[in-house]
Structure 1
C-alpha cells in the first residue's frame, strides 16, 4: 500500500509468527500513546496484547515497512448477535502517514468477507487522531458519548457512496506522492549504459541529456569512467545518496539483482526498460520482491520509457523520439502507440505534458496516471491505451473523476470473441470482453475510438473547440456534392442536420448568389470570396437552432473559401466549428503557434472523420450533463428468501447449473420480478386441469434438463385452448424428449406487446452486466443489444433503454409507463446479481411490455459457487 508521504507498506493478515513484532510495537509506545490505546499508562496492557492479537479467534492486520511493524488493527470474532470490537495501535514514528486509515480499510474488508455487519470501538474523547480515522473513513457510523469515552459503531451493512469516494481521495493523495520520484525525480541514474553508442542505455542517457533534465544525472557502467559526458561508477553501491529514479537497461537476468542494489542504496523508483522479465516467473518474482521490500515504485518492465515536459523537471528518459512540451497526457502499454500518438501531438502543436510507456504494467499503470493528471495542473486531455485492466471498477471510478475535468480518450485494443457461439444464453453470447469494456468506458465518460488515426482529430477538436450543446449540425460548403456527402456522414455518425431558421435563411439569401442553397446543407456556390464564406459561417453559428457547424471548402480559382474563418471561430458564440479542406494531404491539421486554451477549428481531409469527431464531442457533452443519480433499490424484495433458494439449489447440486422452473419462480418472486403465473405438472391430465383453472388459452413448455432454447428444440406450444390441444402437446413432448422430460410448464397466454430480452451476466472483474435486446422470435434474427454495468445510475439505465439501433424509441409509443416498467425489471434483475454473487447468469426472454406493464414470460437463472469477492475499493499496489 502507498502511505500519504509517498512511501509504501505491506499490509497483511497477522498470525502467531508475528507475535514478537506485535509485542515490540506495543511496548515501544510512548506513555501518551499507551494511555490513548489502553486508557492507562500501565505496562500491563502492552505485555498482554500480543497474545490477544495473534489468537486463533482474532482477525488482525498489520502494516510493515522495511520488515518493521508500523501498526496493527484487530477484532475478535464473536458469536452471532455480538458485534466485534476494533482496536488499533500505530507506532509513534509512523503516525500521521495514513497507516491507521489503511489498516481500518483492510480490517473492514476482512470483516465484510466474514459476514460481519457492524464493528464497534471505544475511544477516549481526547484521542482525536483515532476519532478522525473513524470519521474520515467514509463508513456510515454512530457515536455515543459516555463521559471521557466515546462509543463508535461502524455500520458495514449500510453501503454509502461516501466510503468509496473517501478511499479514492485518500488513495489519490498517497499515490501522487509516491509517483513524484517517478515523474518528477530530483536526480536520475542510468544503469547499463553500454559500450556501444547504439545501445538502449546510451540512447536513453543521450535523451535525458538532450532534454535538459534539471537534476543531477548519474551513470552506472563497468566499462568506462565517463559515459556521454557523465561520470560513471562501476556499481549501484557507488552512487551518492538521494537518487530518486533508476533507469535499468541491463539484461533481464541482471534486473532483479540491480533492483535489489537500488533498494539498498535508497533509490525510490525504477524505470525498467528491459524486456523478457515477466515471461520468466523467477525473474518476475525476484523483481517484485525487491520493489516491495524497499517500497519503490516501478514503471515497466518492457517499456519505451517516460517523459515529463514540465520545465521544472524536463525529463526525457526514453529511447523513443523526443517529445514536445504541451498539454496532453499519454499512457500506453504499447511503445508503438506512444510513438504514434506523440508524433501526431507534435505535428498538431498540442504536445504532451507527461508520457509513460507502462509496458507490462507490473506496478505503475493507467490508474496511477489518471490520478497524476488530475493534479499536475498542466494536462488538459488524457490518452490511454490499456490492453488489460486488473481493477476495472477502480479504473472506472478514477476515469470518471478525471473525465469530469478533461477529455479522457482511449484506443480499443483487440478482444477475444471466444466462447460466444458456445454461450448458453443470448445475454452471455453478447457479453464479450469488448462489450464489457465498452460499457465500462461509456459509463466512466471515456471516449473510445477504434483506430489510432481517429485520435488526432478528436484531440484537436476537444482541446481547441467548445463542446456542442446538442447534435444539430449545420453543414456549410462551397461544393454542393461534397456538402451532401458531409451531411450523409453526419447522419451516419448519429448527428442531426440543422435547418437554419427563417431569419438566418433570409440573411443567407441576401448574402449569397442567387444560385446558392440556404437549406440543409448550405451551398454557397464555388465562386464566393473567403470573406463571404466566413460571414455565412458567422450567421449559422448565431442561429439558435444550430449546435455546431461543419464547414467544407474546396479551393478554386477564386481562392480558398476557408481562408478567413479563423477570426469567426475565435469569436464564436461557444459553438464548435470543424473544417473539411478537400485535397488536404494530412488527415487533420491545426493552425500553428497556438497555446493551450486558444480556440481554433481543426481542418480534416474528409467529412466522415470530421463528423465522427463531432459525434464524439456530442456524446461527451451529453455525458457531462448526465445526473449521477444511483438507480433506486427495488421495493418489495426478499433477500433472505432469495438466498435460501440459491443455497438449496447448490446443496442439491454442488456444481450448480440452471434452476428448475419451480426454483426459478421462487427466486423471481423474491426479487419481485413480474413473472407470469407458472405451474409445473407431470401428466397430460394435470395440464388439462391447470388449463381449466386458468380459464383461457395457455402455453405449455417442456422442462428438459440441458434444453435451454425450448422453442428451437420443439418444446413450446402456445395458444392452446381445449382439452384436446393441451393433451396432444404433452403427449408430443413425451414422444420427443422421452425420459428426459422432467415436467411440463403451464402458463396463461400473455397479451401482445413489445417483446424484449433482458439479461444479466457476471464478468469476473467488472461484475454484473445488464443486457437489453429485442426478444421473442426477433432475438435470433436481429443481433442488436445494449449493455451497462451494475451498479448503474438512472442515466445508465436510460441509455440502456434508448440504445437499440434497430428500434429507436421502441418504448416511447406507450408513454412513460412502459419505460418505467422495463427500468423496474432491469433494477430487480441487477439487484439479484448484486445480492447473490452465486447467480452466474439470468435471462428474461421474452419480457412482454404492453398496456398492462411488463410481464416476464420466460425466466432462466443459472447458479454456481462464487469465488470470494474482493473489495473493489480496497487500496493495493499491483505487486
Structure 2
C-alpha cells in the first residue's frame, strides 16, 4: 500500500487571485533556477544567509537532480510562471527542515502561506510531525507568516537567527486559521461579482423576448447605480443602454460580464473576457460541452476571474440594487442569502420568501458550477452584514469536507437551511459490507447537514416556514410544546405532529390548569392540547394563550384558531405575542384559512398546523445543536495505530483481510474480540476445535462475500470431531475453489447485536455507521451515519438514538465508537471496516464477534 502523491489543486491568495499549487519535478528545474536567480540580493540573503549564488544553485540541483536525497517540493504557479517554492528534507524520525522562497513581486500576497500550508499537508502524509527552520531575526515577514499559520510554534533566538519549530499534529487551530484566510481571499474575489461597480451584458439583443434583453432591462429597471453597458456588434444601444461591438472594445473592463450568447460562442467570449481583465462573469447560456466548461474553469483561474454557471438564472444583490437575472419579478430585499443549482428552484424560493414577508440579500444561481460554488458563498455570507440566514439547494458537493467546516462556522452565527436534493442509492447495491450498504448518498448528506448544524428540509415551503420562525420568534429553550385551539380536531393533528417531529407534548402545571378552568367553559379540554371550545371570546383565547406561555414547563406554544359566527379567537392574538416576547417563549399562530402558507410577523403565522410544528422542530434541532459542546471525541487508552498500519503495509489495494488479521486490527485498537484460528483443511479445523474446548462457529473465508450467513457460510454450535469435519466438507462443497479457508471461532454467549463500521468515501472522508447488527443488519435498518471526526456530542447522539443501546446498557457503545473513530483518523489505509456483530461482554463491556477489513487502494494524501 503506497502513499498517494499530492495532487495539483487551486487556491486563492490574499487578494483573491487563484494560483495552482502542485508538486515540482525535474521538468521544473529551469523555472526553479530562474525564480532563485531573479531574487534580489536582500531576498537571497534572507533565504540562503549569503549574498552569493552558490547555495541557491546547490539547492535547485538538490530538488531536481539528486534522487538519493529525497526533498519533496511544491510550487505555486500563476499561469505558466512559477511564483514560489517550498520544500523539506528529513533530518530525523518524524522531523524535517523546510524552506520557502517567493518571487519578490509576489510577496505579501499570501503565496508563501499557501505554499507552507500545502507543504505541511504533504509532510503529514509522509509521516512528518515536526517541521523546523532557521530564519533571520530581521526577516519579519517570514516570521509573521509562520506565526499566522495557526500551527503550534516554538521559537528560540540564537544571536541573529531564530530557530522555528512547527508542530503538525494539532489541526483544529490550524484549520480555523486556514478558513479565516480563505474567507478573506474568497470575499475579495467575489466582490466584483456580488458588489460590482460596472456591468456589461454580452449578447444583449434588441429582441424583447431574448434572455440577454431581459437581463439588461432587469438591471436597468432595478436601479443599479454603477456603469451599465451592452455588448452587441449589431446595435449602438439596447433598451436605452449604450453598446460596444465586443468586450475588447469596452473603454474599461467591467467588474461583471453577464454572458447570454449562443452556446457555440460562449468559450470565445470567456476567452475575450479573460484577456480583457474582466473580474467576474455569469454565464447564463446552457448546453455547453463538458470539455469547454473545463476550459472555462481554467481560464477563470488563470485570468483571476470568478465565473458563475454556465446554465444558470444569474445573480442578484439587493444591497447594491443589482438584479442580473431573468426572473419575472425582482427578488424582494431582505436578509436571506440564497444559493441554488437549479434556476427554477431559485425562482420558486425567492417568490415564496417574498410572499411570506422575507427577502433576499444575495441570490446566486450556481448552475453547472464551473467555478463559484456553495462553499464560496458560505465564506461570503460569513462576513456579510446584510445576510442573517442562508438557504441552499445543492444537487452535488464539490468539496463536502470543506462545506461541512464552513457550514459549521456559519451556523454558529446564523441559521443555515438546505433543501434536500434527490440522491441515488444505486452505489450501495454493489457494497461489499453492511457498513457500505448503510452509507447511502442520502444518509451521507444527512450526516453532513446534521453535524454542521444545517437545517435540512424537504421542500421550499418547509424552508420558508423554518426561516420565518428563525426570523420572528425567540430561540427555543427546549422541546416541550403546548397546543391551544378552538377547533379540537386541529389540536389533535398538531399534537400528533409534535410526536412525529420529535417534540414533547408538554405536561401543563396544576396552576396553569386552574387558571384555564377559571377562564374557560366547563366543556373545555384543559390538558394539552387545550381545546377552548368554539364559543370562546377572542380576548379570553388570548388570555389562555398567555397562561400557557407563562407555564415554566412549556418551551413553545402553537395557537390554532378558526373564525366562527361567534367571533374570531385569533383577533386578539397579538396580545399573546406581547406576552411571548416578555417571557421569551416562541408563539406560533395558525389561523386556519390563512391564504399565505407562512407570514413573517411577531409572532409568525402558518396556514397549516403540521407545517408550523415541523418548523418548530427545526428550531428545536438548531437550539440543541448550538448548545452542544464542540469537543472532539476523546482518544481512548490502549490504542496502537502504528500496529494497525504495520498490518496493512505492503498489502495491495482492495484486499480483504482474513479473519485473523481483521481480529488483529481490532485488538490493536483496543477492541475486545472473540479470537479464532484460520484452518486450511479439516485437520487444522479439528485442532482449533480442540483448543477452544467447546462448541465453535465455522465461517467460510471467501474474500468479499457480504451475506455469509444467508449464503450458508456460517455454521454455529459445531461440537465434536465428526461434526467439525462434516462442517468443513459442507463449506468446501458449497463454495468450491472460492473457499480460502475456514475460520474456527469459539461460540460466544448470545445477546443483543450491534454493527459498527467505517467506510472511506473519496469526497466525504471516513463515514461511521452504527446500528442493529447480526444476520438481519440491513433488514432491521435504522443505522445512523456520521462523518469522522466525531465530537463527544456526536457519540452521545449515536448512543442515545440507538434503541438497542438503550435497551441493553451492558454494551459500552461510546467506548467502541471512540475507538473506531480513532481508526478512521489515524490509520489512512482502511477502505472499509465492518464489525458485525458486537455483543455485550468482554473487558470493556462489549466484544466483537466478527469483523471484515478492506485495504484502501492508496493512502489518502
**TM-score, length-scaled by structure 2:** 0.93
Please point out which of 30, 38, 49 is paired with 2:48: 38
Please point out which of 635, 638, 647 is paired with 1:636: 638
Matched residue SS, 1:669: helix
Q: CA deviation at 1:215?
A: 0.9
Q: CA deviation at 1:795?
A: 0.9
Alignment of 1:827-842 (within 5 A): 827-842=818-833
Alignment of 1:452-467 (within 5 A): 452-467=460-475
1:518 aligns with 2:526: yes
1:182 aligns with 2:190: no
Q: Which residue number in structure 2 is paired with residue 596 of structure 1?
A: none
1:865 aligns with 2:851: no
Q: CA deviation at 1:525?
A: 0.7
Distance 1:66 1:581 in 2: 61
Distance 1:228 1:25 in 2: 51
Q: 1:81 to 1:427 in 2, by over 3 A?
A: closer
Q: 1:147 to 1:732 in 2, by over 3 A?
A: same
8 A contact 2:338–2:362 mirrored in 1: yes
1:661 aligns with 2:669: no
Q: CA deviation at 1:813?
A: 5.1
Q: Deviations over 1:524-577 (max 9, x none)?
A: 111111111111111111111111111111111122211211232244121212
Q: Which residue number in structure 1 is paired with residue 105 of structure 2?
A: 93
1:297 aligns with 2:306: yes
Distance 1:657 1:209 in 2: 63
Which deviates the most, 489-498 or 13-22? 13-22
Distance 1:103 1:724 in 2: 67
Alignment of 1:143-154 (within 5 A): 143-154=155-166
Q: Deviations over 1:217-245 (max 9, x none)?
A: 12221111122112212122221225211
1:248 aligns with 2:244: no
Matched residue SS, 1:223: coil
Q: Deviations over 1:313-357 (max 9, x none)?
A: 211111113111101000011100110000011111111001001
Q: Which residue number in structure 1 is paired with residue 429 of structure 2?
A: 421
Q: CA deviation at 1:45?
A: 5.0
Q: 1:67 to 1:518 in 2, by over 3 A?
A: same
Matched residue SS, 1:714: coil
Q: Deviations over 1:616-656 (max 9, x none)?
A: 111111111111111122322233322232235x2xxx463
8 A contact 1:195–1:223 mirrored in 2: no
Which deviates the most, 508-517 or 4-13? 4-13
Please point out which of 718, 740, 743 is paired with 2:741: 743
Please point out which of 308, 312, 325 is paired with 1:318: 325
Q: 1:777 to 1:27 in 2, by over 3 A?
A: closer
Matched residue SS, 1:514: coil
Unpaired stretches in structure 2, ≥5 consecutive residues: 1-10
Q: Which residue number in structure 2 is paired with residue 610 of structure 1?
A: 612
Q: Which residue number in structure 1 is paired with residue 817 of structure 2?
A: 826
Q: Which residue number in structure 1 is paired with residue 74 of structure 2?
A: 61
Q: CA deviation at 1:203?
A: 0.8
Q: 1:709 to 1:22 in 2, by over 3 A?
A: closer
Which deviates the most, 540-549 or 558-567? 558-567
Q: CA deviation at 1:97?
A: 1.6
Distance 1:741 1:23 in 2: 58
Q: Which residue number in structure 2 is paired with residue 645 of structure 1?
A: 647
Matched residue SS, 2:367: coil
Q: Which residue number in structure 1 is paired with residue 4 of structure 2?
A: none
Q: Which residue number in structure 1 is paired with residue 225 of structure 2?
A: 214
Q: 1:462 to 1:420 in 2, by over 3 A?
A: same
Q: Deviations over 1:21-58 (max 9, x none)?
A: 44454444444433322323445556665545554554
Distance 1:383 1:421 in 2: 32
1:717 aligns with 2:715: yes
CA RMSD of aligned residues (A): 2.4
8 A contact 1:752–1:850 mirrored in 2: no
Alignment of 1:6-155 (within 5 A): 6-16=16-26, 18-42=28-52, 50-52=60-62, 54-55=64-65, 57-65=70-78, 67-75=80-88, 77-78=89-90, 81=93, 83-155=95-167
8 A contact 2:90–2:97 mirrored in 1: no
8 A contact 2:752–2:808 mirrored in 1: no
Q: Which residue number in structure 2 is paired with residue 702 of structure 1?
A: 700
Q: Which residue number in structure 2 is paired with residue 845 of structure 1?
A: 836
Distance 2:293 2:335 in 1: 35
Q: Deviations over 1:483-526 (max 9, x none)?
A: 11211111111111001101111111111111111111111111
8 A contact 1:182–1:270 mirrored in 2: yes
Matched residue SS, 1:145: strand
Q: CA deviation at 1:682?
A: 4.8
8 A contact 1:101–1:133 mirrored in 2: yes
Distance 1:759 1:504 in 2: 49
Distance 1:452 1:82 in 2: 52
8 A contact 1:457–1:602 mirrored in 2: no
Q: CA deviation at 1:149?
A: 0.6
Q: CA deviation at 1:412?
A: 1.1
Alignment of 1:444-523 (within 5 A): 444-523=452-531
Distance 1:497 1:530 in 2: 24
Q: Deviations over 1:361-405 (max 9, x none)?
A: 111110111111111101111101111111110000000000011
Q: Deviations over 1:718-740 (max 9, x none)?
A: 34555565555445445544565
Q: Which residue number in structure 2 is paired with residue 574 of structure 1?
A: 584
**TM-score, length-scaled by structure 1:** 0.91
Q: 1:120 to 1:690 in 2, by over 3 A?
A: same
Distance 1:289 1:4 in 2: 20
Distance 1:661 1:748 in 2: 13
Please point out which of 744, 757, 762 is paired with 1:764: 762
1:588 aligns with 2:598: yes
Matched residue SS, 1:144: strand
Q: Which residue number in structure 2 is paired with residue 855 of structure 1?
A: 847
Unpaired stretches in structure 1, ≥5 consecutive residues: 592-599, 871-879
Distance 1:243 1:690 in 2: 79
Q: CA deviation at 1:70?
A: 3.2
Q: Deviations over 1:811-830 (max 9, x none)?
A: 34555x63xx2122222223
Distance 1:15 1:327 in 2: 49
Q: 1:631 to 1:216 in 2, by over 3 A?
A: same
